[in-house]
């Protein structure tokens, strides 16, 4: 039985803990607030500011885990190198966690070192530098904090008037203590995908069937699997994903995001852990969902293959306002719907646009994927978060 220190305890962490509990592992869930979703199902929990390196050191020494697994960006990840030197196993690796928690590090690795195709980009550390960057790469362009998640702080600049607003919004949405932003040329893509990629300690790198998704405000709203794409583009994405995950090292699941346009595949971003768009796998679209795959890779359990079992879609249940005790209306509608499931995450508070749950719909592989997607979207609108 392994002891796992889970750094970040949101809805993705909760599903990971459930997967771990099913095969007898011990998990200590950590976050900066009490009653976080993963804490509901973990063996124990800690509440700390994970940007406080001393606080991190204290709980690592206290619990002496077999595995340290980051689930969010706002962590003092440079401490991970020390933990590895002390003999702890960081998932997927200290290098991977440090590079991928900061968009600057991963973009420079992907585009500069590995030569992967990406959008043209610049960095800025002030509103003045942001204007200069926009002048260099042109409009429209996308601005993102170097450290953020779920689209926080991300916006698109269309006119000069948007620049100052985009800078302020990026600072408000930034996680951690990094003020710098990345400015990217807007890629004229046909669609975007997440390619869940599994690296194993003693096995082949495996790829899940591609997942399509739609975003608003930089945050995913719906996802579906399998996403239709040309074989040549799929092979190109798999090649890129394998190249970047090998460079970072370690075992686990990676959410590798790509834009696909008429001129090919663009590497976008990378998460070294289960991905929010991958919640569609909770509809049992695969032989193992993304959380089970991550756990098996972490523990070194062999994964011989990943197979598509049925098509599926997910649609977010989001809050429209603030609440200290959110309740839900309409769950009976989801329960009555055929080929449908749902998850309520158990977050203790609500705020505008916060993900509070997800609707999952599915059908046979031979079914109509567009109908499955529309059904998920329609059902998600039937659930109201009471404020």
Closest by CA to 6, choosing from 117, 93, 91, 87, is 91
Alpha carbon distance 300, 313 (integer Å): 29
Burial class of 213 by CB neighbour count within 10 A (0 to 12, 13 to 18, 19+): buried
Residue from 9, 93, 149, 323 carrying the catalytic annotation: 149
Active site residue 269: yes
Please confirm, yes or no, whether 261 is among the known catalytic residues. Answer: no
Q: Is residue 329 annotated as a catalytic residue, yes or no?
A: no
Tell me how long the chain is: 387
Instruction: Give yes or no: 126 in active site.
Output: no
The CB-side HSE value for 347 (13 A sphere, CA atoms) comes to 21
* Cα–Cα dist 202/143, whole Å: 39
Catalytic residue among 11, 192, 222, 276: 276
List 192, 257, 292, 363, catalytic entry: 257
Which residue is catalytic, options 151, 173, 250, 278? 151
**Which one of the listed residues 355, 361, 363, 375 is annotated catalytic?**
355
Q: Look up 257 and say whether it is catalytic.
A: yes
Q: Quote the tokens at residue 312.
A: 């599926």
Cα→Cα distances 290→56, 159, 274, 280, Å: 27, 40, 6, 9
Residue 58, CB-side half-sphere exposure with 13 Å CA sphere? 11
Catalytic residue among 118, 199, 277, 281: 277
Task: Taking the CA atoms of 290, 52, 102 and 138 in sequence, report the sign of the dihedral they define.
Answer: positive
Is residue 151 annotated as part of the catalytic site, yes or no?
yes
- 100 annotated active-site: no
Biggest alpha carbon–alpha carbon distance for the chain: 57
The residue with tokens 């649609």 is: 315
Active-site residue among 66, 84, 129, 269? 269
Give me the active site residues, please: 149, 151, 257, 269, 276-277, 355
């Amino acid at each position: 039985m392994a002891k796992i220190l889970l750094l970040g305890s949101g809805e993705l962490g909760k599903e990971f803990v459930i997967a771990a509990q099913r095969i007898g592992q011990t998990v200590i869930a950590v976050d900066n607030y009490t009653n976080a979703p993963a804490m509901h199902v973990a063996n124990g929990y800690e509440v700390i500011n994970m940007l406080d390196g001393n606080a991190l050191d204290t709980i690592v020494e206290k619990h002496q885990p077999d595995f340290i697994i980051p689930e969010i960006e706002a962590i003092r990840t440079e401490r991970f190198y020390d933990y590895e030197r002390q003999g702890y196993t960081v998932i997927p690796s200290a290098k991977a966690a440090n590079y991928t928690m900061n968009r600057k590090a991963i973009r420079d690795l992907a585009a500069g070192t590995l030569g992967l195709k990406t959008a043209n980009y610049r960095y800025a550390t002030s509103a003045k530098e942001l204007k200069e960057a926009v002048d260099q790469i042109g409009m429209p362009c996308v601005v993102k904090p170097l450290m953020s998640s779920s689209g926080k702080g991300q916006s698109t600049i269309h006119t000069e008037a948007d620049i100052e607003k985009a800078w302020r919004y990026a600072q408000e949405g930034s996680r951690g203590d990094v003020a710098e932003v990345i400015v990217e040329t807007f890629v004229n893509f046909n669609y975007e995908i997440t390619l869940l990629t599994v690296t194993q300690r003693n096995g082949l790198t495996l790829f899940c069937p591609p997942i399509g998704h739609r975003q608003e405000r930089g945050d995913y709203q719906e996802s579906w699997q399998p996403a239709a794409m040309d074989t040549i583009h799929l092979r190109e994405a798999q090649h890129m994903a394998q190249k970047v995950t090998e460079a970072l090292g370690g075992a686990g699941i990676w959410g590798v995001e790509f834009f696909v346009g008429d001129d090919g595949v663009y590497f976008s971003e990378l998460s070294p852990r289960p991905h929010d768009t991958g919640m569609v796998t909770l509809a049992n679209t695969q032989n193992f969902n993304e959380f089970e795959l991550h756990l098996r890779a972490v523990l070194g359990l062999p994964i011989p293959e990943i197979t598509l079992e049925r098509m599926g879609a997910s649609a977010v249940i989001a809050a429209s306002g603030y609440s200290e005790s959110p309740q839900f209306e309409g769950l009976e509608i989801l329960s009555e719907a055929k080929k449908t499931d749902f998850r309520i995450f158990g977050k203790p508070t609500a705020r505008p646009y916060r993900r509070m749950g997800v609707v999952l719909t599915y059908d046979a592989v031979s079914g109509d994927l567009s109908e499955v997607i529309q059904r998920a979207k329609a059902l998600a609108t039937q659930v109201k978060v009471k404020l």
